[in-house]
Amino acid sequence: MSEILKSVATRRAFLRDSAKVALAAGVATACKQDASATTVRQSVAAHPAAAGGAHDAAAAALANADAMDAMHEKSIKAFPAKTSGKGNQVLAPKLDKGVKVFELTAKKIQWETEPGHFVEAWAYNNQVPGPQIRVRQGERVRVILHNELPESTAVHFHGLELPNAMDGVPYITQSPVKPGQKFTYEFVVPNAGSHMYHSHHDSAKQVGLGLLGAFIVEPRTPTPAENVDHDFVFVLNDGPHGYTFNGKSFPATEPLVAKLGQKIRIRFMNEGMMIHPMHLHGMHMTVIAKDGWPLSNPWRCDTLNVAPGERWDVIVSCTNPGTWAFHCHILPHAESEHGMFGMVTALVVQK
């Protein structure tokens, strides 16, 4: 691993862990100096106009700029970077006399958020986010939760208007599901839209560690909004795993890929503790639903503020070819002086 790559890795570690800021800052500075040292000669050589004796300051500025830019370039060129594990995979149900049965096993795993960076995750079916559950309004659904965690837990179906006993809130609607136990949720899916499921027990910790997933309900009667070429789910999180889209940080985030002229739907879901105003470059988004409920008056934007617990559905007409940055516009969630990281991906519109 080159010095520059090492410093990028170091930077990521220190951004993640505020408790180590003082130490890491020193390390980062040291790394930056190393990087500068190794690139000064090259960049001076690469910018001959700046190489004269009268241009020492300019040469130094260029060398520093080159060193910084090299880190930025590496991070972007690595995108989309491979990591082990992929969250939000559609879970195929088993059928039991017309009931769609989904099994979720919650347990502690190691999760790679970006190349080489592993975190402790509490995950459903070894995925962060947990597997995507996708059903149709009016279907009968059974969700069997197996708890292999060291804590009790429970599943709340956030946005679904279920019978009270299926709401998943320990001591309000059910007993906690203890380690080693299982619990069965069963219901007829009442309302359509982009919903979520997540732990509702010790939730500030358990959701932060990954016990969350998308629960998508297609409407009983398909609407024109359903006619899209691609349907993307975009779960935002900002807990102990860092700033993530679908459990991964840039450059390990997944790009959204479409062809010129296609129409895509994006379902934003915020499972974190902070707002994330999502900014798309190059094209606007038409907002068609809030928390799964269609808007009678859709509106357009390029920056959509998504608050914790909210879901927003948007349509993008892919009219502008190219690779477009797509990121949280709280800039420290997306870029540092070492390059882009965290809540960044791209919409790729192919000709």
Residue 97 CA: distances (Å) to CA of 100, 101, 133, 143: 8, 10, 19, 15
> C-beta of 334: minimal distance to its own copies in Å?
8
> C-beta of 96: minimal distance to its own copies in Å?
26
Closest listed residue to residue 311, CA positions, set 235, 228, 246, 198: 235
Of 91 and 314, nearer to its own copies (C-beta) is 314
Q: Is 207 in the site for its own copies (CB under 8 A)?
A: yes
Of 101 and 325, nearer to its own copies (C-beta) is 325
Strand order in the sheet with 276-280: 256-259, 344-350, 322-328, 276-280, 303-306
Site for its own copies in 187-206 (CB under 8 A): 191, 200-205
Instruction: Give strand pairing partners of 199.
Output: 155
CA dist., res. 351 & res. 346, Å (int) = 16
CA dist., res. 241 & res. 17, Å (int) = 10
Closest listed residue to residue 250, CA positions, set 110, 349, 346, 129: 346
Site for its own copies in 67-86 (CB under 8 A): 68-69, 72-73, 76-77
Task: Please report, as a single letter, which amino acid is at residue 202.
Answer: D
Separation of CA 160 from chain center: 22
Task: Please report, as a single letter, which amino acid is at residue 46.
Answer: A
Site for its own copies in 142-181 (CB under 8 A): 150-152, 156, 158-159, 161-165, 167, 169-173, 176, 178-180
> C-beta of 342: minimal distance to its own copies in Å?
11
CA dist., res. 270 & res. 238, Å (int) = 9
> C-beta of 253: minimal distance to its own copies in Å?
14
Binding residue for its own copies, selected from 49, 101, 123, 197, defined by CB under 8 A: 49
Provide the mask over 227-266, with x wherever binding to its own copies is found by CB under 8 A and - wherever it is not. Answer: ----------------------------------------
Whether the ω angle into residue 115 lies within 30 degrees of 0, i.e. cis, is: no
Diameter of the chain measured on Cα atoms: 84
> C-beta of 94: minimal distance to its own copies in Å?
26
Of 93 and 324, nearer to its own copies (C-beta) is 324
CA dist., res. 191 & res. 237, Å (int) = 25
Site for its own copies in 280-339 (CB under 8 A): 281-284, 290-293, 295-297, 299-303, 305, 307-311, 320-325, 329-332, 334-337
Phi/psi of residue 42, nearest 5 degrees: -60, -45
Residue 309 CA: distances (Å) to CA of 159, 162, 220, 268, 334: 9, 17, 24, 10, 21
> C-beta of 93: minimal distance to its own copies in Å?
24
Of 85 and 129, nearer to its own copies (C-beta) is 129
Task: Please report, as a single letter, which amino acid is at residue 158.
Answer: H
Binding residue for its own copies, selected from 58, 228, 257, 288, defined by CB under 8 A: 58
Site for its own copies in 259-278 (CB under 8 A): 273-275, 277
CA dist., res. 212 & res. 155, Å (int) = 9
Provide the mask over 117-146, with x wherever binding to its own copies is found by CB under 8 A and - wherever it is not. Answer: ------------------------------
- Is-contact 234 245, C-beta < 8 A? yes
Q: Is 66 in the site for its own copies (CB under 8 A)?
A: yes
Of 37 and 331, nearer to its own copies (C-beta) is 331
Of 27 and 325, nearer to its own copies (C-beta) is 325
Instruction: Give strand pairing partners of 114.
Output: 117
> C-beta of 190: minimal distance to its own copies in Å?
9
Of 230 and 290, nearer to its own copies (C-beta) is 290
Of 91 and 195, nearer to its own copies (C-beta) is 195
Number of residues that bind its own copies (CB under 8 A): 87
